[in-house]
A and B are shown apart, each in its own frame.
Chain A
């Protein structure tokens, strides 16, 4: 009989946001940015060795800023590989700290990874996490979402993150590679596309990546009757109003077709008898699911491409993955956790 307590945590390690849900009821989310002071002066000014999330973004001029998870996996290649790994490790330490484990409590974590992350990617995540939790497992992100909602049979999960959009077919068993499709038509792609659209629409307007992201997060809408979006952007230093309704819609609607193509691929290779049921059980999750009208747009495209379709939005886009991972962690037999220590 163990005298130590165990804290189970579910982590959704995303390109844009990292969220945690834990068995003590704590929940936290942080932007996936990690910043280290550039020099001694910055260090003295900030009085910290590392900053996270929005605070890091706000003080980025004094920091070496890292976004360690691009396309949902740790960037373990290239010249900044070591720094990315360190940033990812620090990010996991920070998010686990926000779950408030008690001193001496064991922390067992399930981390959601993109559906088609490579073995190398997964190993990088495991390595980053193993230093700050006592036992860790990875599972596919869309699987975690479906598991959290107890939807294990004949469900198609769309998990739209910043780096990737994961599609996963649930058929009552663990999804295999052929059940999962990952594409990069996700939040970052929309940001880039929106920037292009604005450049074409208003060539003199000045903006940064952060501004584009903020505009997208506030106004994204693919509904045909979307309300008008007028945003002030600087032109030679003077703020000027621009009607960005069409550029925003064009940028956001761009992810619909690749998603529906992926869904069609997963549906077409499914048992024909259950295909109609599958089309009626499409679950839309992830930060991208907050784009207004996206569920209807996907339904419309499904009807056109596949004859029918019904899309259901998850209640809590930010925490659906983390909550599912937590559920998985709690239900995992203790002996499995012991063996992975």
Chain B
């Protein structure tokens, strides 16, 4: 489902085409850019916490913020750029003949414009910010308009999940393109929708045939997902394949939100693992070296001193020794003072 699926007519208040009309214009523009090898940038903009602000200050405030945001976008767009407000209050903008780096520049301008906006409600000053997803057609996998918009949506989701007030340009073109192709393939394989279901045929004579239990469950799942299977015996490989594609589609939107938090965790863990692996390598080589020696203290301390970078070859060893000497001297003096005080007491 594309974000444009809204059949509202032109919105006179916002002075824009309907989402459907704009989508067609954008598709034409995208195809033209592809045909002539021209660069093109797509921005998908969301207003942070807009729903909450509406809950607090009413629909009028929401409309005012939305109008101001559109105004900010209009100020940075040219005559031939395309702009579209979607039904969920996100805004899509297409900038033909714009290099990929222009996307980041425009996003920065928009973020700054949002920071300068002020709204007064009930004596309180409201500030707004944007989350922006940026995509361009210069990536080798950005071969369709749907892919371009989907990548911008991913960027917006990541920016929003990271707290907003930022733009994100993901490199998920290949993944999105694969998913799009899988959907297309699934659509091609899907049977032509049948007319209204006829009345159930009379049960044949003889013992009733019982579908296997697993088959029943699959039929239930398919029915819940809107896939009609009139005859359990027709539950073949294609039907199951369709089910799998649908499951994949439904899981896909969940990924971006969780992705940021998981990536952060993974980054930290990977860095930690890399450090530990490095230390483990040094520890193992040190253990091997010590094992070859005789009459040496095998205590943990001696190993750790090398592992932690105080080996003779450590670049900062001399400087660290000086620092330690100073720490020791200061502590030694303190200890003596405490002892002297104790003796006096």
Complex CA gap A225/B166 in Å reads 11
Residues of A within 8 A of B299 (CB): 2, 5-6
Residues of A within 8 A of B56 (CB): 228
Q: What's the least CB distance linking B100 to chain A, in Å?
A: 26
Contact B323 A224 (CB under 8 A): no
Contact A173 B323 (CB under 8 A): yes
* Mask of A117-159 contacts with B, CB within 8 angstroms, 1/0: 0010011001100000000111100000001001010000000
Of the residues A137, A147, A173, A225, contact of B164 by C-beta under 8 Å: A225
Query: CB of A315 within 8 A of chain B?
Result: yes
Residues of B within 8 A of A8 (CB): 301, 304
Which residue of chain A is the closest to B166 with respect to CB atoms? A225
Contact A138 B322 (CB under 8 A): no
Chain B binding surface, main DSSP class? helix
The listed residue with most B CB atoms (<10 A of its CB), out of A6, A8, A136, A225, is: A225
Whether A225 touches B338, Cβ cut-off 8 Å, given contacts A315-B268, A330-B301, A330-B304, is no
Of the residues A174, A330, A336, contact of B308 by C-beta under 8 Å: A330
Query: CB of B139 within 8 A of chain A?
Result: no
Whether A225 touches B49, Cβ cut-off 8 Å, given contacts A119-B334, A340-B332, is yes
Query: CB of B163 within 8 A of chain A?
Result: yes
Complex CA gap A225/B127 in Å reads 8
Which residue of chain B is the closest to A122 with respect to CB atoms? B334
Which of B269-287 touch A at CB < 8 Å? 271-272
Contact A152 B308 (CB under 8 A): no
The listed residue with most A CB atoms (<10 A of its CB), out of B165, B297, B316, B327, is: B327
Which of A313-330 touch B at CB < 8 Å? 315, 327-328, 330
Query: CB of A334 within 8 A of chain B?
Result: yes
Query: CB of B202 within 8 A of chain A?
Result: no
Which residue of chain A is the closest to B327 with respect to CB atoms? A139
Which of B23-64 touch A at CB < 8 Å? 48-49, 52, 56
Whether A331 touches B305, Cβ cut-off 8 Å, given contacts A223-B165, A315-B268, is yes
Query: CB of A40 within 8 A of chain B?
Result: no
Complex CA gap A234/B335 in Å reads 51
Query: CB of A45 within 8 A of chain B?
Result: no
* Mask of B310-326 contacts with A, CB within 8 angstroms, 1/0: 10000010011111111
Which residue of chain A is the closest to B124 with respect to CB atoms? A246
Complex CA gap A59/B316 in Å reads 49
Residues of A within 8 A of B300 (CB): 5-6, 23-24
Query: CB of A61 within 8 A of chain B?
Result: no
Residues of A within 8 A of B297 (CB): 1-2
Contact A152 B49 (CB under 8 A): no
Query: CB of A227 within 8 A of chain B?
Result: yes
Complex CA gap A336/B310 in Å reads 15
- Residues of A in contact (CB 8 Å), total 39
Q: What's the least CB distance linking B72 to chain A, in Å?
A: 16
Residues of B within 8 A of A331 (CB): 305, 308-310, 320, 324
* Mask of A96-111 contacts with B, CB within 8 angstroms, 1/0: 0000000000000000
* Mask of A38-67 contacts with B, CB within 8 angstroms, 1/0: 000000000000000000000000000000
Complex CA gap A119/B49 in Å reads 52
Contact B324 A150 (CB under 8 A): no
Contact B164 A123 (CB under 8 A): no
Contact A339 B332 (CB under 8 A): yes
Q: What's the least CB distance linking A118 to chain B, in Å?
A: 11
Which of A290-341 touch B at CB < 8 Å? 292, 315, 327-328, 330-334, 336, 339-340
Q: What's the least CB distance linking B161 to chain A, in Å?
A: 12
Query: CB of A172 within 8 A of chain B?
Result: yes
Residues of A within 8 A of B129 (CB): 224-225
Q: What's the least CB distance linking B232 to chain A, in Å?
A: 50
Which of A175-226 touch B at CB < 8 Å? 223-225
Q: What's the least CB distance linking B174 to chain A, in Å?
A: 31
Query: CB of B241 within 8 A of chain A?
Result: no
Residues of B within 8 A of A336 (CB): 324-325, 328
Query: CB of B331 within 8 A of chain A?
Result: yes
Q: What's the least CB distance linking A7 to chain B, in Å?
A: 8
The listed residue with most B CB atoms (<10 A of its CB), out of A147, A224, A330, A334, is: A330
The listed residue with most A CB atoms (<10 A of its CB), out of B115, B316, B320, is: B320
Q: What's the least CB distance linking B302 to chain A, in Å?
A: 9
Complex CA gap A277/B334 in Å reads 35
Q: What's the least CB distance linking B341 to chain A, in Å?
A: 8
Contact B327 A328 (CB under 8 A): yes
Whether A152 touches B316, Cβ cut-off 8 Å, given contacts A2-B299, A331-B308, A331-B309, is yes
Q: What's the least CB distance linking B267 to chain A, in Å?
A: 10
Contact B324 A225 (CB under 8 A): no
Residues of A within 8 A of B332 (CB): 339-340
Residues of A within 8 A of B326 (CB): 173-174
Q: What's the least CB distance linking B265 to chain A, in Å?
A: 12
Complex CA gap A59/B189 in Å reads 66
Q: What's the least CB distance linking A44 to chain B, in Å?
A: 37
Contact B338 A332 (CB under 8 A): no
Complex CA gap A2/B297 in Å reads 7
Whether A328 touches B328, Cβ cut-off 8 Å, given contacts A6-B300, A8-B301, A225-B48, is no
Contact B338 A127 (CB under 8 A): yes
Whether A327 touches B331, Cβ cut-off 8 Å, given contacts A172-B319, A224-B165, A225-B129, is no
For this complex, 7 residue pairs linking A to B, each with C-beta atoms less than 8 Å apart, are A6-B300, A23-B300, A119-B337, A138-B330, A172-B319, A173-B323, A340-B335
Task: List 14 additional A-B contacts (Cβ < 8 Å) besides A173-B322, A331-B320.
Answer: A6-B300, A23-B300, A119-B337, A122-B334, A127-B338, A138-B331, A138-B334, A152-B323, A224-B115, A225-B164, A330-B305, A336-B328, A340-B328, A340-B331
Shortest 3 CB-CB distances between A and B: which pairs? A225-B129, A336-B328, A174-B326
Chain B interface (Cβ within 8 Å of chain A)? 48-49, 52, 56, 115, 127-129, 163-165, 268, 271-272, 295, 297, 299-301, 304-305, 308-310, 316, 319-328, 330-332, 334-335, 337-338
